[in-house]
Copies of this chain bind each other. A is one copy, B any other.
Amino acid sequence: MTLQIIPIHFKNDVQPTDDLIDLLLSSSKTSLENGDVLVISQKIISKHEGRVVNLDSIIPSELSIGIASAYDKDPKLVQAILSESQRIVRMEHGVIIVQTNHGFICANAGIDESNVENGYATLLPKDSDKSADNIRLKILQQTGKKVAVIISDTFGRPFRMGQTDHAIGVSGIDTILHYEGTPDTFGKILRVTATAIVDELCSAAELVMGKTKKCPAAIIKNFEFKENTGNIKSILRSEEEDLFR
């Protein structure tokens, strides 16, 4: 079966007062069907939830000023990063990698000045699983269709250059497809294979969404998955299991 990834282009920027479900449904050139996966960029969720900060309004602490000076950053941005983080994981080469309050390990706590008005930055949604839940339930109410919803953000990664999209919130789908205990094509039992399908779905959606195309969402059709509540914590590696922290 051919997997289809269909971009949803938005004409205008998203405001907190917008009806996001109406916007998604009316901007989509195709109808949602049972079993579709809807991937939505963090950026429009944050804007819709008012998670946008005016950097000028931030008063940096002494710590933020010190870090900013040592790492050649804007002290107000550093202050925003620290407010969104439970701890700093690495700081070097002008890069600040933190563990966010949600548990994501990423640069700048996911705070992003791109595709937002000058002088402003978006913060990650407070609870992206809840954001995804709300959207999934409203779609079910308005269209009768059972879809999975994934909120996606762009993260760098160790070892490899460039960024790829990762899930930061899910609803209606498990984060990982577990193969442990199932036979491979030679009848051998797989022991460690577990595919991070929600991250792969986000990466797949990013291929049509891009960064400059006013395309903050995509519908993925013909991906088979088991309907499940799902939660993003299930894909976060605990510190004890992580060899790179």
Q: Complex: how many Å from CA A92 to CA B2?
A: 40
Known: A118-B188, A184-B211, A207-B223. A161 touches B194 (CB 8 A): yes
Which residues of the partner chain B approach A190 to less than 8 Å between Cβ atoms? 114, 211-212
Of B13, B200, B204, B244, the residue contacting A244 (CB under 8 A) is B244
Contact of A201 among B175, B207, B242 (CB under 8 A): B207
Closest 8 CB pairs of A and B: A162-B196, A204-B204, A158-B244, A203-B203, A200-B203, A3-B5, A90-B243, A105-B159
Do B194 and A163 touch across chains, with their CB atoms under 8 A apart?
A: yes
The 22 sampled A-B contact pairs (Cβ below 8 Å) are A2-B4, A13-B185, A90-B244, A104-B159, A105-B158, A114-B190, A159-B236, A159-B244, A160-B199, A161-B234, A161-B235, A161-B236, A164-B196, A164-B203, A165-B200, A184-B211, A184-B212, A195-B206, A199-B203, A200-B204, A201-B207, A203-B204
- Chain A 142-175 interface 0/1 with B at a Cβ cutoff of 8 Å (1 = within): 0000000000001001111111111000000001
> Which chain B positions have C-beta within 8 A of A244?
90, 158-159, 244
Band of interface residues on A: 35 or more
Interface check A67, CB cutoff 8 A: no
Per-position binary interface string of chain A over residues 172-189, scored 1 when its CB falls under 8 Å from any chain B CB and 0 otherwise? 000111010011111010
